[in-house]
Amino acid sequence: MEIIQTVVDWYMVNLNYFTVALLMAIESSFIPFPSEVVIPFAAYKAAQGGLNVFGVIIAGTIGALIGALFNYYLSLYLGRPLVYRFADSRMGRLLLLSKDKVQHAEDYFIRNGNSSTFIGRLVPAVRQLISIPAGLARMNIRNFLLYTAAGAGLWNIILAVVGYFVYELRDKILPYVGHLLIVLGIVFVVWLIIRGRLNRNKNKNAGGESGQDSKTGS
């Protein structure tokens, strides 16, 4: 418990506009990192006077744009074959990527068009990867920046409101914050482990089926 509290205290002390932008840039790339542990905490600190909540939203949106642009240009220059090959590689699986996830994001982009870079920022299963199909489709960069900034900004506003709401109720929930953070941390780790195992099983099953098909064909 003391270790968790020490980590939380260190995190809150070092949470500033730069770290908010940096963490949100990581979150918006293909690296798995939840925005839910960035903006709400920064907004909570802003409610205490340590930061400005509008600055938090702006910094978070700038960071989200940086991460989205990284995905966009990486996909643009690598092309579809290399992107899918990386998603199916060992490194890709360590980053919780898969061909199915990239395909899901690309299908979502195809169905919804350019506006998917706005709507997709609000969809948990799509938001981190929606920039990849935008890059593959060579979406107009001006439209990409506009839609991404709008979607990321709206998402950050929602999270910031949550952080402020928690601050307003701090006297009622403060005794349970430490326990809540521990539970959320455990749930997040378990979720990562389960997703990793499901992806490995899915890849094994896909490999087994392809092997059976090749035997049948021969």
Give the model's pLDDT for residue 32. Answer: 73
CA R_g for the chain: 20
pLDDT in tens, the chain (218 residues): 577 777 777 888 888 999 999 999 998 887 777 888 899 889 988 888 888 999 999 999 999 999 999 999 988 898 888 888 888 888 877 777 778 888 888 888 888 888 888 888 887 767 778 888 888 888 899 999 999 999 999 999 999 988 888 776 665 655 666 666 677 777 877 877 787 777 777 766 666 555 555 555 54
The answer to whether the beta carbons of residues 116 and 150 sit under 8 Å apart is no
Give the model's pLDDT for residue 213. Answer: 54
Give the model's pLDDT for residue 84. Answer: 83
Output the six-digit token pair for 11: 């995190």
How far, in Å, CA of 158 to CA of 80, rounded?
33
State whether the Cα torsion 121-67-100-106 is positive or negative.
Answer: positive
**Tokens 């890709």 belong to which residue?**
92
The answer to whether the beta carbons of residues 109 and 169 sit under 8 Å apart is no
How far, in Å, CA of 153 to CA of 144, rounded?
14
How is the chain split into domains, by residue range? 8-172
